[in-house]
Amino acid sequence: TTTPVGIHDLSFATTHYALDHAVLAQRLGVDRDKFYLGIGQEKMSVAAADEDIVTIAAAAAKPILERHGTDNIRTVLLATETGVDQSKAAALYLHSLIGLPNAARVVELKQACYGGTAGLQFAAGLIARDPSQRVLVIAADIAKYELDTPGEPTQGAAAVAMLVTADPAILALDPVSGLYSADIMDFWRPNYRTEAIVDGKTSVNAYQKAAQEAWTDYRRQGGRELGEFAAFCYHQPFTKMAYKAHRHLLESQGHTADTDAIEAAIGATTTYNRTVGNSYTASLYLGLASLLDHGDDLTGKALAMISYGSGSVAEFFSGTVQSGYREHLRTEANLAAISSRELLGYERYRELHEATSPSDGAYHAMVEETRRPYRLAAVSGHKRIYESR
């Protein structure tokens, strides 16, 4: 038998601010239930002027290092599609802030919202080679669409950090995975833009097709049957998307898509996303945290994980929840990260959205706003300067 590999610890962080969708609905002149019920989003996390993916990634990772130390963390993989530099890996900016080991390889990964899953799978591969190694995987994103567009209510932000090890305390991954990649233009962000471009309806259809194709491949590879899973954890660009994709998957397999059964399979995975919004690479793992924090006892149960990154790559994988997992959860800290956000008024939200990064090389101090553990203090000489608070 091979040593089980998987998620040993999981911690998330989000931004200082949040915007209630009722505020956005009023501005856009639509019924707020279009957002609350139609897309299933009530609030979205919004970054303060002195926050970015590095500050939220550091805040997510720090508690993991505090609990488990840094021994044998020989690889750090940070997945993001809202990186702060085209060359240097974002995790190197937080290296000194949170005390990552020097004897480690530190790399940034990108494939839209799929990048976090790439990190998790690469980590599992490294640990299979040497089970004494531990890998820190961080997924961090700030989702930003153009103002006054259909994508705007699906913004959000969060970072999830996971310690991936042999004999994990939370979720042991099955070695089998289903894969599907296809070159399409459903959502992308050219280098010269800070906001994503999206073909909304195409992206929804592409997501559903990719999830189904990844499932088909998962079965071809000898994966479990649909009926074996206690819950289905989907990437959530908005929470309704998980419901849509699951209904599509069930119907494509000739199952009846009973509303109560879908709620039982998905509901607990959406609690955090509903109030955080899309966190791209982190979203699937925020869904997992939500399920573990809010679901019934899942000891010994199989979970399905469905990752989708536009462009596009999908992966259907699975795992078994470990006995005693509840002692390792961070439910209280997770709930506090969400409830401690400061609610924004529309004007300040818009100002933050429209603000641009300094690019002239001069010294720019950032307004002190966030009350989170780390902040971007200044940009000077084209260098980003971070500090602990």
Q: Which residues bind ligand CAA (CB under 6 A)?
A: 31, 33-34, 37-39, 113, 150-151, 154, 186-187, 198, 200-201, 203-204, 207, 235, 237-238, 241, 278, 280, 308, 310
Closest separation in Å from C-beta 146 to ligand CAA? 10
183: burial class by Cβ within 10 Å (0-12, 13-18, 19+)?
exposed
Closest separation in Å from C-beta 291 to ligand CAA? 18
Closest separation in Å from C-beta 237 to ligand CAA? 3
Contact at 8 Å (CB) between 173 and 154? Answer: no
Of 85 and 146, which CB lies nearer to ligand CAA in the complex structure? 146
Contact at 8 Å (CB) between 266 and 232? Answer: yes
Closest separation in Å from C-beta 282 to ligand CAA? 11
> How far apart, in whole angstroms, are the C-alpha atoms of residue 210 and residue 92?
33
Of 195 and 369, which CB lies nearer to ligand CAA in the complex structure? 195
Of 178 and 309, which CB lies nearer to ligand CAA in the complex structure? 309
User: Mutual orientation of helices 283-294 and 331-339 as an angle, nearest 10°?
Assistant: 120
Contact at 8 Å (CB) between 133 and 127? Answer: yes
> How far apart, in whole angstroms, are the C-alpha atoms of residue 216 and residue 135?
29
What are the φ/ψ torsions at residue 19 (nearest 5 degrees)? -120, 130
CA atoms within 13 A on the CB side of 150: 11
Of 118 and 124, which CB lies nearer to ligand CAA in the complex structure? 118
Q: Which residues pair with 107 in a beta bridge?
A: 77
Of 207 and 325, which CB lies nearer to ligand CAA in the complex structure? 207
Of 165 and 278, which CB lies nearer to ligand CAA in the complex structure? 278
Of 179 and 335, which CB lies nearer to ligand CAA in the complex structure? 179
What are the φ/ψ torsions at residue 117 (nearest 5 degrees)? -70, -40
Please identify every residue annotated as catalytic. Answer: 81, 113, 235
Q: CB neighbours of 129 closer than 8 A, spacing ≥ 6? A: none
Instruction: Read off the tokens for 352.
Output: 């933050």
Residue type at position 268:
A
> How far apart, in whole angstroms, are the C-alpha atoms of residue 287 and residue 295?
11
CA atoms within 13 A on the CB side of 84: 26
Instruction: Read off the tokens for 261.
Output: 């059964």
Closest separation in Å from C-beta 150 to ligand CAA? 4
CB atoms within 10 A of CB 187: 25
- Nearest Cα neighbor of 212 from 255, 172, 183, 173 is 255
Closest separation in Å from C-beta 115 to ligand CAA? 11
> How far apart, in whole angstroms, are the C-alpha atoms of residue 384 and residue 257?
49
